[in-house]
Structure 1
């Protein structure tokens, strides 16, 4: 066999292997399919790659399929029909056009789920439907600090495992245009850090609700790379993803 024929044979074999890997990427009997979307049009968190990789690891360990993209052109009815939940990984700014907004609305109205992580509330300020969906809009934050979080609702899969008082370090968001219809899961104790223009005695940090036919979970935590190495935080977002995708009763 001459060198040209050998090289051709090796390349053909390589392409066959790659094709097999791509076809077998989905897990057999996966519980659900999640789309991680991390496009930004404002501040970009350096923790985004860590967050995407953490969810990929969670998907392998907990038998669900995960696909990630930052391409807003991927947001079509045809593509989203393959997913049960969209995870907005620290998105910022205006990231969807009008057609894509309509696709997202139809996705939610069909009974599917949305998970927002950290700056998902710093997204789409001029889209009222989205503000109600995600639950609030980012207002401000002080420098990163350690504080006491109060887990006020431990009857949700995202909080089953958490202590009632949780010491945590993060970039601590305060919010405006808060949706009073959400169920708050975790609050920040402003007495335990310097909020510099916070929200006062009642400062929500994570919540969930059902909205326009779908299920929504949001956590303001997750600014730092280290967040996505913490078991409690990973179980927190896993519970939110699982509930938003599956919709099992919580009691």
Structure 2
């Protein structure tokens, strides 16, 4: 009887360890994301802080993330290994034509895209003469053109959609410091607005009135833009961590 109980106990332990190991392995290989960082001097401090920030998010949420500032990694052969592309302040005009085309194909195939802050720098003002403009990217952004942002200052983000997976774990309002990107018009009507900037909480350059700051584009399966994210201090805000985490997890979903 004693040996039979001992055998059952050992068998139980082996089964438990097997499922614990395979379960943990499955969690760590949930999906793969590629994050490409900006090389702009203006974003250097944020990029230094973004790498450990993203690595921590990935570890805690059980997905794999590869982080680089090498835009040559944006090619068809490499992108096929990933479910999500995270554009961390990398401006669209800092990519070559071939890299732009590869990312466009990636998104049009139904893969996920998360753009943060300077990833949304649409418009032709930044382009050198005789440079091709990536009109498709402007369309993905909701057909808006970036205009000069106001001074870095404290303001309030109002969460408009409290049910969407990207924003449902956030409070109704978040007070942060940022550059509060402005555009030539509101993208509302062409995108699904998740959050807006409360223009009464800071000084604008050109008030937009309706000022979306986080949105998805439902013409694509998994595209989300987060307009806030200039300062590395923001990465210490737990709510911002939740926002970026949930944006990546949502963008990675296959249905």
Q: TM-score range by the shorter chain?
A: 0.7 to 0.9
Using the alignment, how far apart are the partners of 1:111 and 1:159 within structure 2? 21
Residue in 1 aligned with 2:168?
A: 160
**Deviation by residue 1:23-50 (Cα, 9 ceiling, x = unmatched):** xxxx832211110011346843521121
- Measured on the aligned residues, the alpha-carbon RMSD in Å equals 2.1
Alpha-carbon distance in structure 1 between the residues aligned to 2:235 and 2:96:
30
Greater share of helix residues, 1 or 2?
Answer: 2
Q: Distance in 1 between matches of 2:137 and 2:183?
A: 15
Partner residue in 2 for 1:223: 230
Determine the structure 1 residue equivalent to 2:157: 149
TM-score (norm 2): 0.79
Aligned twin of 2:245: 238
User: Are the aligned partners of 1:172 and 1:221 in contact in 2 as well (CA < 8 Å)?
Assistant: yes
Report the secondary structure of 2:205's partner residue: coil
Moved over 6 A (4+): none
Please point out which of 204, 211, 216 is paired with 1:208. Answer: 216
CA distance in 2, matches of 1:56, 1:245: 16
Task: Tell me the distance in 2 between the aligned counterparts of 1:145 and 1:55.
Answer: 24
- Is the CA contact (8 Å cut-off) linking 2:224 and 2:247 kept in structure 1? yes
Q: C-alpha deviations, 1:48-83, integer Å up to 9, x for none?
A: 121222111100010000001222221221111100
The question of 1:132 aligning with 2:139 is answered yes
Q: Does the alignment pair 1:95 with 2:102?
A: no
Q: After superposition, give the CA deviation of every residue in 1:96-149 in whole Å (9 maximum; x if it has no partner).
A: 222222211211121101100111112674211011223444212222222222
Q: Distance in 1 between matches of 2:216 and 2:88?
A: 16
How do 1:177-188 and structure 2 match up within 5 A? Answer: 179=187, 180-188=189-197
> Which secondary structure does the structure 1 equivalent of 2:213 belong to?
strand
Which runs of 5 or more residues in structure 2 are unaligned?
A: 1-23, 125-132
Aligned to 2:59: 60
Which 10-residue stretch deviates more, 147-156 or 169-178?
169-178
After superposing the two structures, state which structure 1 stretch, 77-86 or 121-130, moved more.
121-130
TM-score, length-normalised on structure 1? Answer: 0.80
How far residue 214 of structure 1 moved from its aligned partner, in angstroms, is: 3.6
Q: Could you tell me how far apart the structure 1 residues matched to 2:70 and 2:185 are?
A: 28
Task: Extract unaligned runs of 5+ from structure 1.
Answer: 1-26
Query: For the pair shown, which has the larger CA radius of gyration, 1 or 2?
Result: 2
Alpha carbons 2:123, 2:146 under 8 Å: kept: no
- How many pairs align? 220
Structure 1, 139-148 or 83-92: larger mean CA deviation: 139-148
State how far apart, in whole Å, the 1-side matches of 2:180 and 2:223 are. Answer: 20
